[in-house]
Amino acid sequence: DWIERVAHVPVDDSGEAADVCLIEVGGTVGDIESSIFFEALRQFQFRVGDDNFCLMFVSLVPVLSEEQKTKPTQHGVRDLRSLGLSPKVIFCRSTQRLEEATCRKISNFCHVPPTNVISVHDVGNVYHVPLLLLEQNVHRIISRELKLEAQMEVENPNMKEWTDMAFALDGFKDSVQIALIGKYTSLSDAYLSIIKSLKHASIACGRKLDLVWVEGTDLESTDENGEEKTDKADFDAAWEAIRAADGVIVPGGFGNRGFEGKMLAANYCRTSGKPYLGVCLGFQAMVVEYSRNVLNWKDANSAEFDEKCDHPVVIFMPEIDKDNMGGTMRLGARDTKFTHQHEDVCMSTAQILYGGADTVSERHRHRYEVNPDRVDEIHNAGLKFVGRDTTGTRMEVAELPRSEHPYYVGCQYHPEFQSRPLKPSPPFHGLILAATGLLDAHLEKAKASI
């Protein structure tokens, strides 16, 4: 019931249900935790009919002694069929392109046509994978299995721009080094959208991304008890990484751990002219740091960490319930209006990066916001809140004028959620442009077309 209901939810502005709904069942066939999902799919296939259900199986084809082994695939399909599910397409991961004999063997023993055995072998970069699938006619296989031939607008999609990007990436010589300051750096998947957005922006700038992980607490000179650290090895290494990086990003997060380190990094970038992008909590770190060191509100803080401070420059949003934490965040796409130019009548850097748009829609995920009662003082002191919500009371984008800093930008929303390989998120694109010395030329070109 849930699958069928979600499959009919519109995914774009048309208001119509999607033609195809992709469902992934992770793990390995035979895992007890995934058995209920396989049973749900077994029943689902009869409810919707064979023409509306195309099961695809991903399997490993290891290469041992220069021979491609098909036994893992055969056993996986056998276990799957024992659950009442028979795949129509088999994707085979391997270090090498599948040999014709291997495809025939998998076809014979797994009950699929040879054309439906797809080789997904190692390639130079992940962006070659769609080209592999196109080369093996996966789009035609799907349209045939789901009876969508009449709805296919073109026989082959135009992948020229994507192809150019994939092959160009293989030839990049120069790199750009970005320091990512977080609190979950031991688990890179926690920042997967951030990483992908940085890669998209780096590709657009013709650079390989060299990402350096920095734990926020390592930038602090004191430990969790407030005592001076005796072992400064991690502290020194973290600050050396910040100084050596071409740019710095502080992504979103929750909790007090590492927040002082993020503010110290924001301060260093602001005063040294190093490109900086703050997202969500990284945006709030900019505001707190500026309040402390420019407005001299020494106890300025976020109410998330100190509710009793005299200068709470970041506060809990009034419409959010403090006692119930489940489903209480400000979520989803919201409009941001670019409301302010700089004193020299220059359009803000953020607005230029967004192509001069007056309003942009970006996705949000937060409970705290810049204190509306402190906005004017902070804005007039120099940290410009150039983007605000449609009411004008909720701060969305802050930056320093380009006359003061090459790129010091923060946003309350999460622009990484809408970044795409051929259309990088504007704030991330701006960071990489600034880190590579290409921002000024890009902005001048963009202004000329606005």
Catalytic center residues = 280, 414, 416
- Exposed/middle/buried for 115, CB within 10 Å: 0-12, 13-18, 19+? middle
CA distance between the termini of the chain: 48
Please provide the size of the chain in residues: 450
Q: Which amino acid is present at 292?
A: R
Instruction: Quote helix, strand, coil % in the chain, to nearest 5.
Output: 40, 20, 40
Phi/psi for 392 (5° steps) reads 80, 5
Instruction: Residue 18: count other Cβ atoms within 10 Å of its Cβ.
Output: 13
d(CA 242, CA 42) in angstroms, rounded, equals 52
User: 50, 40 in Cβ contact below 8 A?
Assistant: no
**DSSP type of residue 96:** S
Which one, of 22, 50, 16, 56, lies nearest residue 146 by Cα? 50
- Exposed/middle/buried for 396, CB within 10 Å: 0-12, 13-18, 19+? buried
Angle at 269 between CA 358 and CA 294, to 5 degrees: 80
Phi/psi for 300 (5° steps) reads -55, 140
